[in-house]
Amino acid sequence: EPEVTQTPSHQVTQMGQEVILRCVPISNHLYFYWYRQILGQKVEFLVSFYNNEISEKSEIFDDQFSVERPDGSNFTLKIRSTKLEDSAMYFCASRRDSSPGANVLTFGAGSRLTVL
C-alpha cells in the first residue's frame, strides 16, 4: 500500500536555526498538507498546497514558515528561525483529488522537532 514518507523522523535543533522537514507524498496525489501536534495537544492544520501554490494556511503558519515542492516529488516545510514553541510533531498528508470519495488524507509517520 502506498505511503507518505517523512524525513527526518526526529530532529533536534537550537533556537533560531532553520529547519527543513521533508515529505514524499503518494505519487498520484495532488493535494498536500502539513499539520502539527504539540505534545499533549490536538492535531492542528498548518497549510494546504495544490498546483504549486498554497491553497490555505492557518494563523499558525506565519512568515517563519514556508512550503515548497521543489522537484515534483518532495514537499518540504521550512521553518526559518525556530522558536521553542515550534517543538512538535509535524505530519505531512496528501490527498488524491477533490472528487467526492477522494477526500481522504493519508498521513506520514511524522517528524518530531525538538527546539532547545
Partner 1 sequence: AQRVTQPEKLLSVFKGAPVELKCNYSYSGSPELFWYVQYSRQRLQLLLRHISRESIKGFTADLNKGETSFHLKKPFAQEEDSAMYYCALGSTGANSKLTFGKGITLSVRP
Query: What's the closest the beta carbon of residue 32 comes to partner 1, in angstroms?
Result: 11
At 45 the three-state DSSP class reads strand
Distance CA 30, CA 52 (A): 10
Looking at the Cβ atoms of 72 and 100, the one nearer to partner 1 is 100
**Contacts of partner 1 in 3-22 (CB under 8 A):** none
63: left (phi over 0), alpha (psi -120 to 50) or beta: alpha
The contact set with partner 1 (CB under 8 A) reads 31, 33, 35, 41-45, 48, 50, 55-56, 91, 93, 95, 98, 100-101, 103-110
